[in-house]
Amino acid sequence: MAEVTSALVKELREKTGAGMMDCKRALTETAADMEAAVDWLRKKGLAAAAKKSSRVAAEGLVAAASAGTTGALVELNAETDFVARNETFQAAAAAIGRIALDVGGDVEAIKAAAFPGTGRTVAEELTHLIATIGENMNLRRAVRLSVGSGVVASYMHSALAPNLGKIGVLVAIESTADTSKLLELGKQIAMHVAAARPDALTVADVDPAKLARERDVLSEQARASGKPETIIEKMVEGRIRKYYEEVVLLEQLYVVDGESKVSAIVAKAAKDLGTPVAVTAFARFQLGEGIEKEQSDFAAEVAQLTR
């Protein structure tokens, strides 16, 4: 059985908002499996149902680039926010974003591409910047979206410089409608994505494993009510529909007006423009999401729980 450490207790508490003793018990009951412990707490009603992930911040920048029917996002990490405000670092992030427009979303392919005006590859340029600026840097991820006709709109939340910031979004819209109108719609939907953090474009795109896990948790919660299985089934299906409204972009309530589903906004745009309009893909990069920091210390009261 894996050891239930103070760092694990802290991480679980940050993920779920549950009490320290409950977190320790959950980890003990699940052999220190973090995701199983989250589910254990949810089934006991001790954690919020909302999806929560470790939000340990890594510094650097997200860069966006777009050109008509193509758009790209890249995340370039550094050790401190000070470097993220360095003009040389910002210029490098912006250039790598533009390179991703041509090369695509494969990080290794981007690293092997020529960095403009230097005679070096992107990987060699990053090595040069590390030596020059004095901080470690890493091109962590990239994505490129394209459409046959239409636009790929981009949005950068709280931009530090044009197309550079900490939350970047792309929205791909397939249509033959006026480009300026599509860009306007795309930017509005991208702003929604930045705020609402959808996981999937459509119900069919929801990860089957995540859906099964959610159904399991909801079933356990429903059975705790003591109602008959036939009622429980209906309760679970109702809650699954609510789950879709939380994680599926086209099922979400549009944050701009707070009244309509995103799918209804797209349908209205198609009607107003007199031609089909379809959101075919989106991408959202938040700086540092999913990166874990080493836990070097923890509060004394938590340490006592794990002795």
Q: Which residues pair with 145 in a beta bridge?
A: 71
Query: Given this model, what pLDDT does residue 143 score?
Result: 98
Structure confidence by residue, pLDDT tens digits, 259-303: 899 999 999 999 999 999 999 999 999 998 877 655 544 455 455
Residue 173 has pLDDT above 80, yes or no: yes
Query: Given this model, what pLDDT does residue 2 score?
Result: 75
For the domain covering 59-200+257-286, report its CATH number: 3.30.479.20
Parallel, antiparallel or unpaired: strands 114-115 and 120-121: antiparallel
Which of 39 and 112 is assigned the larger pLDDT? 112
For the entire predicted model, the pTM comes to 0.75
Query: Given this model, what pLDDT does residue 49 score?
Result: 35
Tally of CA atoms within 13 A in the half-sphere of 45 that contains its CB: 6
Query: For 53-67, 88-102, 209-223, which range has the lowest pLDDT when averaged over its residues?
Result: 53-67
In this structure, what are the phi and psi dihedrals at residue 93, rounded to the nearest 5 degrees? Answer: -60, -45
Query: Given this model, what pLDDT does residue 192 score?
Result: 96
Do 1-56+293-307 and 59-200+257-286 show the same overall fold?
A: no
Structural domain boundaries of the chain?
A: 1-56+293-307, 59-200+257-286
The CATH architecture that domain 1-56+293-307 belongs to is Orthogonal Bundle (1.10)
Calculate the alpha carbon distances from 264 to 150, 164, 253, 261, 269 in Å.
19, 31, 10, 5, 9
Structure confidence by residue, pLDDT tens digits, 182-230: 999 999 999 999 999 999 999 999 999 988 888 888 888 887 777 777 8
| Both tokens assigned to 182 | 């599509």
